């Protein structure tokens, strides 16, 4: 089954403790992206990647890192999480080029205490 898989689905952690949210897709998509969703603010893009080893900042990249060493994986790294990163996170992927739709994972709910 074609899917975008995020792990963990839920995480409660403390300020400053490094964490990684994994994202994996099995559709051979070139493009991958991370969004966060907050009440009243909608979904905002954090980082995106056009292909392996090609990443760039979205609208709200502060406090996050990403890597794209393999086509299928696009982990989101919070080196020193803070409470303002408490949010619902979504990973998305699509084929590159043209009008290909993005497919989203089920989300990761992070709570930073």
Are the beta carbons of 43 and 99 closer than 8 angstroms? no
User: Binder to other proteins among 7, 13, 45, 86 (CB under 8 A)?
Assistant: 45
> Of 82, 17, 91, 113, which Cα lies nearest the Cα of 47?
91
Angle subtended at Cα 32 by Cα 27 and Cα 36, rounded to the nearest 5 degrees:
125
Which range of residues in 14-22, 63-71, 76-84, 100-108 is near other proteins by CB under 8 A?
Answer: 100-108
Q: For residue 1, state whether it binds other proteins (rule: CB under 8 A).
A: no
Cα separation, 28 vs 94, whole angstroms: 9
What residues between 73 and 92 interact with other proteins by CB under 8 A?
88, 90, 92
Which residues form the interface with other proteins (CB under 8 A)? 4, 31, 33, 35, 37, 42-43, 45, 48, 50, 56, 58-59, 88, 90, 92, 94, 96-107, 109
């Amino acid at each position: 089954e074609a899917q975008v898989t995020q792990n963990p689905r839920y995480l409660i952690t403390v300020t400053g403790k490094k964490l990684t949210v994994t994202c994996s897709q099995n559709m051979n998509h070139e493009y991958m992206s991370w969004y966060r969703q907050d009440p009243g603010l909608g979904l905002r893009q954090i980082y995106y990647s056009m292909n392996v080893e090609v990443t760039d900042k979205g609208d709200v990249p502060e406090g996050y890192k990403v890597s794209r060493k393999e086509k299928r994986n696009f982990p989101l790294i919070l080196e020193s999480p803070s409470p303002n990163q408490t949010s619902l996170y979504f990973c998305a992927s699509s084929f590159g080029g043209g009008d290909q739709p993005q497919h989203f994972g089920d989300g990761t709910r992070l709570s930073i205490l």
